[in-house]
Chains A and B, each alone.
Chain A
Amino acid sequence: MSPLGMSELESIDERSLRTGSVAGGLAVEPAEASGSPREALPPGGRVSELSGETVGEVRAENAFMIAEGVNVYYGDNHAIKNVTLEVGRHQVLALIGPSGCGKSTFLRCLNRMNDSIESARVTGKITLDGQDIYSKKLDPVVLRARVGMVFQKPNPFPKSIYDNVAYGPRIHGLAADRAELDHIVMTSLDRAGLLKEVRDRLDEPCSALDPIATARIEDLIDELAENYAIVIVTHSMQQAARVSQRVAYFHLGTLVEVDETNRIFTNPQHKLTEDYITGRIG
Chain B
Amino acid sequence: MVNDSHRSTLSKVEAGLARRHTKEWMFRSFGLMATAVGVVFLAVFFWTLIAQGASAFAQAYIELDIEFSADVLAPDGEIDLAYADFDAVVRNSLREQFPEVSGRRERRELYRLVSIAAGYMVRDALERNPELLGSTVPMLLPAAADVDMVVKGNIDRNLDEAQRPVSDAQLEWIDQLTADGRLATRFNTALFVNGDSREPELAGIRGALMGSFYMLLVTILMSFPIGTAAAIYLEEFAPRNRWADLVEVNINNLAAVPSIVFGLLGLAVFINWVALPRSSPLVGGLVLSLITLPVVIIASRAAIKAVPPSIREAALGLGASKMQVVSHHVLPLAMPGILTGTIIGMSRALGESAPLLMIGMVAFIVDVPAGFSDPTTALPVQVYLWADSPERAFAERTSAAIIVLLGFLLVMNLAAVIMRKRVERQW
Interface residues of A in 140-175 (CB under 8 A from B): 140-145, 148-149, 151, 153, 155-158, 167-168, 171-172
Q: Is B333 within 8 A of A158, CB to CB? A: yes
B58 within 8 Å of A (CB atoms): no
CA A12 to CA B71, docked complex, whole Å: 101
Chain B residue nearest to A172 in the complex (CB): B319
Q: Is A111 an interface residue (CB 8 A)?
A: yes
A167 contacts which of B240, B315, B426 (Cβ < 8 Å)? B315
Q: Interface of B with A (CB < 8 Å)?
A: 239-240, 308, 310-321, 324, 328-329, 333, 425-427
**A171-B316 contact in complex given A158-B333, A158-B425, C-beta closer than 8 Å:** no
Contact residues in A for B311 (Cβ distance below 8 Å): 155, 157-158
Q: Let me know if A26 is at the binding interface, CB within 8 A.
A: no
Contact A151/B320 with A116-B312, A157-B329 known, Cβ cut-off 8 Å: no
In contact, B318 and A148 (Cβ under 8 angstroms): yes
Q: Given that A151-B310, A158-B427 are contacting pairs, would A118 and B240 also be in contact in the complex, using a CB cutoff of 8 Å?
A: yes
Chain A positions near chain B (C-beta within 8 angstroms): 111, 113, 116, 118, 140-145, 148-149, 151, 153, 155-158, 167-168, 171-172, 205-208
- Contact between B324 and A171 (Cβ–Cβ < 8 Å)? yes
B240, B313, B324: the one contacting A116 at CB < 8 Å is B313
Count chain A CB atoms within 10 A of each CB in B311, B324, B425, B427 and give the residue with the most.
Answer: B427
**Pair B319/A153 contact, Cβ less than 8 Å:** no
B240, B314, B329, B425 pick with most chain A CB within 10 angstroms: B314
Residues from chain B with Cβ under 8 Å of A141 in the complex: 319-321
A207 to B310, CA, bound (A): 14
Given A155-B310, A158-B427, A207-B427: A144 and B317 within 8 A (CB)?
yes
Given that A158-B333, A158-B427, A205-B427 are known contacts, is A153 also in contact with B310, CB under 8 Å in the complex? yes
Partner of B319, one of A171, A205, A206, A207: A171
Report how far A140 CA is from B321 CA in the complex, Å. Answer: 8
Taking the nearest CB of chain B, how far is it from the CB of A141, in angstroms?
A: 5
Q: What is the minimal beta-carbon distance from A104 to any residue of chain B, in angstroms?
A: 12
Q: How far is the CB of B18 from chain A (nearest CB, A)?
A: 45
Shortest B406–chain A CB gap in Å is 36
Chain A positions within 8 Å of B320 at CB level: 141, 167, 171
A118-B240, A171-B324, A207-B427 known; A155 and B319 CB under 8 Å?
A: no
Tell me what chain B mostly uses at the interface: helix, strand, loop, or mixed: helix
Known A118-B240, A148-B317; further 10 A-B contacts with Cβ < 8 A: A113-B313, A118-B239, A141-B321, A144-B316, A155-B313, A167-B320, A168-B318, A168-B319, A171-B319, A208-B427
Min C-beta distance of A175 to chain B, whole Å:
15
> Cβ of A172: which chain B residues have Cβ within 8 Å of it?
319
- A111-B317 CB under 8 A given contacts A151-B310, A157-B329, A171-B324: yes
Q: How far is the CA of A144 from the CA of B426 in the complex (A)?
A: 30
25 contacts between A and B (CB under 8 A): A113-B316, A113-B317, A116-B312, A116-B316, A118-B239, A140-B316, A141-B321, A142-B319, A144-B316, A144-B318, A151-B317, A153-B310, A155-B310, A155-B314, A156-B314, A157-B329, A158-B425, A158-B427, A167-B328, A168-B319, A171-B320, A171-B328, A205-B426, A205-B427, A208-B427
Q: How far is the CB of B51 from chain A (nearest CB, A)?
A: 49
Q: How far is the CA of A144 from the CA of B311 in the complex (A)?
A: 16
| Residues of chain B with a CB closer than 8 A to A157's CB | 311, 314-315, 329
Q: A113 to nearest B CB, angstroms?
A: 6
Docked Cα-Cα span, A205 to B426, in Å, equals 9
With A and B bound together, what is the CA distance between A143 and B308 in angstroms? 24
**A167, B310: Cβ atoms under 8 Å?**
no
Chain B, residue nearest A149 (CB): B317
**What is the bound-complex CA distance between A252 and B311, given in angstroms?**
28
Residues of A within 8 A of B314 (CB): 151, 155-157
Across-interface contacts of A148 in B (CB, < 8 A): 317-318
Nearest CB in chain A: distance from B1 CB, A? 39
Complex formed: what's the CA distance from A113 to B321 in Å? Answer: 12
Q: Closest B residue to A163 by CB, please name it.
A: B328
- Please indicate the chain A residues that have their CB under 8 angstroms from the CB of B310 in the complex: 151, 153, 155
Distance (whole angstroms) from the CB of B21 to the closest CB of chain A:
42
Q: How far is the CA of A206 from the CA of B311 in the complex (A)?
A: 13
Please indicate which of the listed interface residues B317, B321, B425 has the most CB atoms of chain A within 10 Å of its own CB.
B317
Cα of A29 to Cα of B114 in the assembled complex, Å: 107
